[in-house]
Amino acid sequence: MSTSSVSKGCFVFKPSAKKKKTLDLESYFIHGCEGAESSKTRYRLCQDLWDKIKTDTELLQDELNRQILDSLLEFTKKCSLSRQHSDWTSRMRASEIPTAALVLGVNVPDHDVTFHSLSDLLRQSVTPHVVSVQAKECAALKHLMKKVLERLMDTVVAVDDDEEETEQTQLHKSVHCSLGALCDWYTSKTTKSNSPGKKRSTSVREEHHQQQPPVVIIFKDLEAFNPRVLQDFILICSRYIERLPLTFIFGVATSPSTIQHMLPHSVSSLLCIELFQSLSCTQHLATVLDKLILTPQFPFKLNGKVMQVLISIFLYHDFSVRNFIKGLQLALLEHFHSQPLSVLCCRKKEALLNVAQLGHGDLERIRQLRTFKRYMEKQEMEEQSKLTTDDTHLKEVCQKLIKELRRYHKNYYPILRCLHTLTSSLPRYPLGKQIRELHLICLEKNVWETEDYQCAMKLLRMLAKDELIVLLQRCAEILQPVKSKKIKNALVQLEELLAKFKQLDTAAAEVASSVEDCVISPVKDLQKKTDLFQLQKTLLEMNESRRSKKLSPFETLRNEALEFVDSLVKSHLPPPESQTLSEVCYYSSSGTVRRHLNATPRTSIQAALSSPFYYLQNDSLKAEDGTVSNAAPDICIAYKLHLECGRLINLYDWLEAYATVVSAAEGIDPDSDSYGKVDEVKHARFIRAVSELEFLGFIKSTKQKTDHVARLTWGGC
């Protein structure tokens, strides 16, 4: 399949008879998968959980955006209906354009979903004339006008000074790029739709709305638009507002004051702006965690380190819930691909059936699990021998352990929510303000052994009666729907404690009077004339009386309630790593997730330039550690040579060193005159390699010396 020709030409190669077999998703998953005997089952389980994540998050997105989207729909309907009546002029001047400023937050990757849902809802219930534009496609006013007209009219729009589209406009019937053409098109559309036909039983107000539906223009990323382009477009639209019922929707990522900064008063006065605030991204993330992570219904789990990586990327990079879910899906895929025992990461009934179908290889993997080894060490010698040799007995034990693991998750999350309810309103939030912070603590260690937990319990012992009763009632509401014997027993004890708190009102007054008498009596003695010894004696008696003071009924009951809460925490909130077979459900490779989601391109580029063999898979490129073969690509040779230089690199010396290495690669005799000589070809190759290094950011030109370049990377001599 090679050609050799002096002249230029076109060569045709017929395809081979054998066609490459394309692999489906399942084949890609199974290829290279450890534990191939269960790979198909694991792929099916992974696909089911993946679909569940996608479906649940879409439903959550719709629920969270429902209020703001309904408000926007009501706004556009109200503006459209008011335009047909006298109350339009009373609310705003005739030249004002109704505008909705939708503040979405800085989580820009999530905005597309919101605008897509908004456009669909507007088309379904308000108007068919909806168009969305982005700043990257509207660099000039003519581009903005063209995009708006083309997407509304669904036709080719001709721009007078646009030479690139002359051929396209000749083939298709084009429309002149002006709002006058859009007005004529809108008039013809509304006239056709208002032609006489079947009578409909609608009110006069709704009939006017149906006759003249608004034209909605959505600016997705307002901050990225050229202010001058936006100003000119608004000025032009204000001249046609009487003929064209326009409505603007501004997608604002930062602050509503952005509109004032971008538009002068002469332009912003042409807009009748109403502000709409969407749900914050942190609240959105809390809802996603609540529905997908903090629930026993979802069998796949993340350990503390992986959870911390995903949350850190969310908080410190993009605030994107969409990207957080992608990270969760990546962890799900990696877990089922790399862990053969993930075949047990499913619902309880299916997991018990899969245990019975495990082969000898999978059972050996179970015996090698760290948590199972710890479980075996606690058993008697006879039981240890049976677990090591008897596969049937091991399957029975594994079924029991799977049930215990499910029971642990069923009890863990309600108690976690109760502890968060009790501590989330304490001063300085010792266990965190968000439940995810408390969950991370519980994933890594015994929460009751931490100083923050002890501090939280001390603060809880200082709560007033009304505050404590409210918190305990919330805990009872959390435990109410849980179907677990231990949780039901805990709920009964909690309700008994609440009943005792309600019976304290009458007894509290009697105890308070007696305590007041015993505290005041020594104080009265101090008022008498006495000497220093008598004063010291009296103060010591007061101190002893305070130490030996009997606790009030409320204090006793409060301590009892907090001891009950402490016992629940110690029983149900040990870290998941303490549970046998937790590796089946928990994904723990935080490094893999960080490497895929939080990429470091500079490190990858340096690794490729230093070790080209691992990327090109060419045996001639193999070299010792720290060296690069003289047969490597030119950029790799230039990169290796530049590492041996200081901050400033002499281009001529660099070129000579490069020519010497390339001559050795070409097999030229070192004793010959042509060895290391710079010819035109080597010079051109060197210039290209240096240009590529400059493009990648390793060097830059400097004004200190004209024949030198400066290094931009660390590690210089």
pLDDT of residue 604: 84
Q: Is the pLDDT of residue 522 over 90?
A: no
pLDDT band at 157 (very low <50, low <70, confident <90, very high): confident
> How far from chain centre, in Å, is Cα 353?
35
Q: Which of 106-115, 286-295, 505-514 has the lowest mean pLDDT?
A: 505-514
269 vs 195: CA distance, rounded Å: 37
Q: Which of 140-144, 175-179, 372-376, 587-591 has the lowest mean pLDDT?
A: 175-179
pLDDT of residue 340: 92
| Nearest one of 69, 51, 205 to 124, comparing CA atoms | 69
Q: Is the pLDDT of residue 423 over 90?
A: yes
> How far from chain centre, in Å, is Cα 364?
37
Burial class (CB in 10 A: 0-12, 13-18, 19+), 623: middle
Q: What percent of the chain has pLDDT over 70?
A: 83
654 vs 689: CA distance, rounded Å: 11
pLDDT of residue 508: 54
Report the mean per-residue pLDDT for the chain.
Answer: 85
Helix axes 391-423, 360-367, angle to 10 degrees: 50
pLDDT of residue 168: 47
Strands 708-711, 648-650: parallel, antiparallel or unpaired by DSSP?
Answer: antiparallel
Q: Is the pLDDT of residue 373 over 80?
A: yes
pLDDT of residue 209: 47
DSSP at 394: H
Query: What does the CA dihedral 449, 450, 452, 456 come to, rounded to 10 degrees?
Result: 0
Burial class (CB in 10 A: 0-12, 13-18, 19+), 612: buried
Q: Is the pLDDT of residue 88 over 50?
A: no
pLDDT of residue 171: 43
DSSP 16-75: PSSPPPPP-HHHHHHTT-SSGGGHHHHHHHHHHHHHHHHHHHHHHHHHHHHHHHHHHHHH
Strands 586-587, 301-302: parallel, antiparallel or unpaired by DSSP?
Answer: parallel
Q: What is the pTM of this model?
A: 0.79
pLDDT band at 13 (very low <50, low <70, confident <90, very high): low
Q: Is the pLDDT of residue 489 over 80?
A: yes
pLDDT band at 206 (very low <50, low <70, confident <90, very high): very low
pLDDT of residue 298: 93
pLDDT of residue 93: 60
Q: Is the pLDDT of residue 714 over 70?
A: no
666 vs 676: CA distance, rounded Å: 11
114 vs 108: CA distance, rounded Å: 10
* Rounded average pLDDT over 84-94: 52
pLDDT of residue 194: 58
pLDDT of residue 263: 94
Q: Is the pLDDT of residue 310 over 60?
A: yes
| Nearest one of 323, 83, 81, 361 to 207, comparing CA atoms | 81
Amino acid at 152: L
Give the model confidence (pLDDT) of 386-400 as tens digits.
999 999 999 999 999
For 479, the token pair is 């435990």
What are the structural domains of the chain?
58-189+206-279 (3.40.50.300), 280-446+573-599 (no CATH), 601-711 (1.10.10)
* Rounded average pLDDT over 640-660: 90
pLDDT of residue 25: 73
Q: Is the pLDDT of residue 314 over 60?
A: yes
Q: What percent of the chain has pLDDT over 90?
A: 58
Burial class (CB in 10 A: 0-12, 13-18, 19+), 151: middle
* Rounded average pLDDT over 220-247: 93
Question: In this predicted model, which residue has the larger pLDDT, 28 or 50?
Answer: 50
Q: Is the pLDDT of residue 528 over 70?
A: no
Looking at 368-424, list the stretches that DSSP marks H as alpha helix, in order from N- to C-terminal side. Answer: 370-377, 381-389, 391-423
Coil, strand or helix at 501: helix
Which residue matches tokens 């998968």?
33
pLDDT of residue 17: 53
Which residue matches tokens 């998941």?
576
Q: Is the pLDDT of residue 187 over 60?
A: yes
Q: Is the pLDDT of residue 596 over 70?
A: yes
657 vs 645: CA distance, rounded Å: 11
392 vs 404: CA distance, rounded Å: 19
List CB contacts of 300: < 8 A, sequence separation 6 or more.
49, 332, 335, 345, 585, 587
Q: Which of 118-127, 572-581, 663-672 has the lowest mean pLDDT?
A: 663-672
pLDDT band at 566 (very low <50, low <70, confident <90, very high): very high
For 580, the token pair is 């046998």
pLDDT of residue 94: 61
DSSP 626-692: T---TTS-HHHHHHHHHHTS-SEEEHHHHHHHHHHHHHHHTT--TTSTTTT---HHHHHHHHHHHHH
Coil, strand or helix at 13: coil
pLDDT of residue 667: 72
* Rounded average pLDDT over 106-121: 90
* Rounded average pLDDT over 170-188: 78
Give the model confidence (pLDDT) of 530-560 as tens digits.
567 777 777 777 766 666 567 788 889 999 9
